[in-house]
Amino acid sequence: MKFALYSQKYKAAYQPILAAIFQELLAHGDQIVVEADLWRCYKGQLTEEMAVQTFRSVADLPSDTDLMLTIGGDGTILWAMTYIQHLQIPILGINAGRLGFLATISEGEIADMFAKVRNGQYTVERRSVLQITDSDGTPISPLNFALNEITVIRQNSTAMITVEAYLGGHYLTSYWADGLIVSTPTGSTGYSLSCGGPVIMPHSKTLVLTPIAPHNLNARPLIIPDTTEITLQVYNREGCYLATYDARSTTLPCKTAVKISLASFSLGTVCLENNEFFKTLRHKLLWGEDMRN
């Protein structure tokens, strides 16, 4: 098999995780492709030479890679997606961060993880990806897509903004708020959840619009089909606003309306046997936990 390895940064705490991964891959004669900066940092810890292929962008990540392993948290997976994009390489996250709904494998589960992968004891879930463009369809940045959510929010001001929302060209409402979140099912357990949005099953074909601290108190999260094209027009005193797409952002003038829709590609995430979404919810959100039990 051919495995790619990615982490946003190298930390000393990752040393035993990387050692366990390399030991497994080398023992089975797998091909290894490592993100260039991660390899530069890690190879300095090795006592002997090891030849591996590296990548720096989607352009030099081999398209025949079977699986990308990430080390970190959910944010690491969001960045890993920028290297995969249309290549359809599934991701499996090893959690070296904090709360993780995507990166669910612990350090102690690495050996079991590889055994299940090699035995085919997993499924690949296709997760929706959003894109953001200006009103004429031009991407607002080279990496204009998001796995979790796209938001329009106020910038450099304590004043609210007004967000006019149109669904499929039809006027919905105007939100008076700090901003508006357009979340995928994957992102429903992130920023949207903290703003009162619902938890949505990952394979649901829906999006949720969640206002951020709305002043019109009758504004509530709204679930819509993911085939809906969303247009947002922002007004405020400063004449500009911030559009975010996962961990990236762009400042836009208020005269620029944005369109949000499904991207041309989706992201595959690996779900091992006995590691389903309900189990993750119970563990991460402490569902069912009660001092009386």
Helix (H) or strand (E) holding 163: strand 161-167
Q: 3-class DSSP state for residue 105?
A: strand
Q: Are strands 170-177 and 161-167 parallel, antiparallel or unpaired?
A: antiparallel
pLDDT given for residue 291 in this prediction: 65
pLDDT given for residue 47 in this prediction: 58
Helix axes 110-118, 15-27, angle to 10 degrees: 30
CATH architecture of 130-262: Sandwich (2.60)
Q: Where in the chain is the domain with CATH 2.60.200.30?
A: 130-262
Given a cut of 50, the residues of the chain with pLDDT beneath it are none
Place of tokens 């829709």: 261
Q: Which residues are catalytic?
A: 74
pLDDT given for residue 60 in this prediction: 93
Where does residue 176 rank: exposed (0-12), middle (13-18), buried (19+ CB within 10 A)? middle
CATH architecture of 2-128+266-285: 3-Layer(aba) Sandwich (3.40)
Pick from 83, 118, 80: nearest CA to 97: 80
Helix residue ranges, H only, the chain? 15-27, 36-43, 74-84, 110-118, 191-194, 277-285
Contact between residue 163 and residue 175 where contact means Cβ atoms under 8 Å apart: yes
